[in-house]
Amino acid sequence: MKVFQILLVFLLAIITYSFVGAKTFPQANPKPKWKTVVIQTSAQCGMCKERIEGALSNTAGIRFANLNLGNKKMTVKYDSRQLTADKVREVIVNTGYNADTQVANPEAYQNLPACCKIGGH
Ligand SMILES: [Cu+2]
């Protein structure tokens, strides 16, 4: 009888573990859904490129960020389960740059070096 009780507890533990495990795993590690967006920015130079790419690469859910200095367009690959294209634009705006139709955060823009402001080059 004692062996039966031990087996029952053991069995319950396994059932509980597999149930909890199956339920929490997909939430703890959701599969990313990558999307790419191209955003027109007001970047001026290589420093701007480093600044914006740095801010984006420090943002959770962004896998790739590259600014083309020729046309000032930023290509960003992001996880659409964590972020939206507007959230990506918000990061750029808060770094001090225009992002498509969104205007740069005035305080962040003021803090940019003179050469990084619009018309600085
Ligand atoms: Cu610059």
Over residues 11-66, the pLDDT tens digits come to 777 666 666 655 555 556 678 999 999 999 999 999 999 999 999 999 999 999 99
Of the pLDDT bands very low, low, confident and very high (cuts 50, 70, 90), residue 93 is very high
The model carries a pTM of 0.75
The rounded Å distance from CA 32 to ligand 1 centre is: 32
Q: Is residue 66 part of a domain?
A: yes
The rounded Å distance from CA 51 to ligand 1 centre is: 8
Dihedral sign for Cα 109, 115, 120, 121, please: negative
Q: Which of 88, 92, 90 is nearest to 80 (CA)?
A: 88
Total number of domains in the chain = 2
The confidence score (pLDDT) of residue 8 equals 75
Domain of residue 54 covers 34-116
The rounded Å distance from CA 117 to ligand 1 centre is: 7
Residue 93 and residue 59 in one domain: yes
Q: Is residue 121 part of a domain?
A: no
The rounded Å distance from CA 50 to ligand 1 centre is: 8
Q: Is residue 107 part of a domain?
A: yes
Give CA 48 to chain center in angstroms: 19
Q: Is residue 14 part of a domain?
A: yes
Q: Is residue 9 part of a domain?
A: yes
Give the percent of the chain with pLDDT over 70: 85
